Amino acid sequence: MSDEPRQEVATGRVRRRVGGRRLRVSIEGRPRQGVAPLLLINGVGAPLELFEPLREALGDRLTVAFDVPGVGGSPTPLLPPTMRGLARTVADLVVEVSRELAAEVGTERMDVLGLSWGGALAQELAHSHPRLVRRLVLAATMPGVVCVPGHPVVLAVMASPARYYSPGFLRAVAPLLYGREVRTHRERFERHLEVRTMLAPDPVGYTYQVSALARWTSLPWLCQLDQPTLVLAGDEDSVVPLANARLLARAIPGARLHVERGGGHLFLLLRAEEVAPRIESFLGEPTG
């Protein structure tokens, strides 16, 4: 492939010291008065660049993305963090960025979208720091270790970051992990694959992320979340079966569920142009 996409990946990223950690953060879009920024939290081992299809589909909406410690340009911590500890770091990021943007957007809260592993962290953020989260979008995610598991072979592949280091291996396992969408959206998946292998996570950082999720569940307190919530899921997701989305939508008061027919685990990114208007519509509703 050409060098042009590689140059795009490297631009507009800044390292910040946030709550005692260094995070690589990207802020894109146009601030608008009265419109909360949208914080994007990615899946396990995934750098912020993988959100580019969604950010492009959202147009000039102001979005904030970051690399979790141990991923992309964020250094790996010495000790394995907990989901609550990671949520505290993200809360510090939200506070810092919101203060910088407050005059332009008129609010110090953010809307939060979490994808897969990032959806778990988004739930913890909304629970532990509710005053920072205006609306919540949970995509292809689950309530933690107490969930409906994917196929054992799929989970075995996901437990290792090997797919980040070998394009050939990722191509071989992609239909198993991500379904038929990787064929129907081949060009976008190839770009996704390139970014994954260019910005592979630190193996220790990846293990820390898996370990944090394995020690965490949101089930005891989902009924306490009071942020308006949209749950998005694909009915062909072999990593996080649809039953998990139904569980989240039932447990979170007033939550809405949208199912992408034929959608696999990466539907949010591979079908970004189709899903983005639904997200925009939900975020644009008045919060009473």
The rounded distance, in Å, linking the Cα atoms of 279 and 132 is 19
pLDDT tens, per residue, the chain with 288 residues: 333 332 232 335 688 888 788 999 999 999 999 999 999 999 999 999 999 999 999 999 999 999 999 999 999 999 999 999 999 999 999 999 999 998 899 888 999 999 999 999 999 999 999 999 999 999 999 999 888 888 888 888 888 888 888 888 888 888 888 888 888 888 888 888 888 888 889 999 999 999 999 999 999 999 999 999 999 999 999 999 999 999 999 999 999 999 999 999 999 999 999 999 999 999 998 866
For every residue of 231-245, DSSP letters joined together read: EEEETT-SSS-HHHH
Q: What is the pLDDT of residue 2?
A: 33
Q: Which two tokens stand for residue 240?
A: 């996080």
DSSP-H helix ranges across 159-284:
162-165, 167-178, 181-184, 186-198, 203-214, 242-251, 267-270, 272-283
| Per-residue confidence (pLDDT) for residue 241, from 0 to 100 | 95
Task: Retrieve residue 68's tokens.
Answer: 């979790």
The reported pLDDT for the residue numbered 170 is: 85
CB-CB contact of 265 with 42 (8 Å): no
Q: Is the dihedral of CA 140, 142, 144, 147 positive or negative?
A: negative
**Nearest to 199, CA basis, from 41, 55, 54, 47:** 47
Q: For residue 123, which of 17, 220, 259 has the smallest C-alpha distance?
A: 220
Note the pLDDT of residue 6: 28
Q: Alpha helix locations (H) across the chain? A: 4-10, 52-57, 83-105, 117-128, 152-158, 162-165, 167-178, 181-184, 186-198, 203-214, 242-251, 267-270, 272-283
Q: Quick count: other Cβ atoms within 10 Å of Cβ 89?
A: 22
Q: Catalytic pick from 26, 74, 98, 116?
A: 116
Question: Rounded to an integer, what distance in angstroms lies between the CA atom of residue 212 and that of residue 171?
Answer: 27
CATH 3.40.50.1820 holds for 4-283: yes
Q: Which of 103, 150, 144, 100 shows the shortest CA–CA distance to 121?
A: 144
- Strand partners of residue 24: 15
Whole-number pLDDT of residue 166: 86
Q: What residue segments make up the domains of the chain, in order of their start?
A: 4-283
| Residue count of the chain | 288
Six token digits for residue 248: 């989240």
- Cα angle, residue 136 at apex, residues 268 and 108 outer, rounded to 5°: 120
All residues at 6 or more sequence positions from 78 whose CB lies less than 8 Å from its CB, including other chains: none
Burial (0-12, 13-18, 19+ Cβ within 10 Å), 33: exposed
Specify whether 218 is catalytic. no
Q: What's the burial of 99, exposed, middle or buried (CB within 10 Å: 0-12/13-18/19+)?
A: exposed
